[in-house]
Amino acid sequence: MRFLSILIVLISFLTSNMSAKAEGKEAEAVNDNVKWEFYASTEETVSKELNELFDDIYVQKEEVVPGDPNKRTVIRKPDIYYTVRSLDKYIKKATKKGDYTPLESEKLRVHLYQVALAAIDSDTDSFESSLRKYKKDQPGQLMLFQRVSLKSVY
């Protein structure tokens, strides 16, 4: 059911943004004041459940050769995947140090996973290039995720 709702959102999003995709794609990547907006097909749940869903969607195993038992791991949107993994560890460590309360930490992690799940079938080129700019700056990457607003499809 979730896959069907994601597919419907993807089709409607792609048809509405065909013309916008051609206009000023590079201009968005350069501008640091850009805010992104993705359609969220998940309701707010606990970060552990979102983590499992995140892994199921982003990490795929496929056969190298048909009939061969060896499998190859393919990661969809690796920039977002590795950034989410890194920020999840960063938030956990910051919580242990006392920088965030457990409630703040949970809210940050839930938003992080919701953005990543919403971005899987969206046009995220400018978002990914901005993440690459802040590759070693985890607070900067967290700031980029917080600038994303999610619209509910429900």
Return the higher-pLDDT residue of 78 and 65: 78
One-letter amino acid at 110 equals: V
Query: Which residues have a Cβ under 8 Å from the Cβ of 78 and sit 6 or more positions away?
Result: none
How far is it, in rounded angstroms, from Cα 141 to Cα 148?
Answer: 11
How far is it, in rounded angstroms, from Cα 85 to Cα 50?
Answer: 12
Give percent of the chain above pLDDT 90: 36
Q: Burial, 123: exposed, middle or buried (Cβ in 10 Å; 0-12, 13-18, 19+)? A: middle
pLDDT of residue 34: 77
pLDDT of residue 154: 75
pLDDT of residue 122: 85
| pLDDT per residue as tens digits for the range 97-131 | 999 988 898 899 989 999 999 998 888 899 999 99
Domain limits at 69?
Answer: 2-152
Name the domain count of the chain: 1
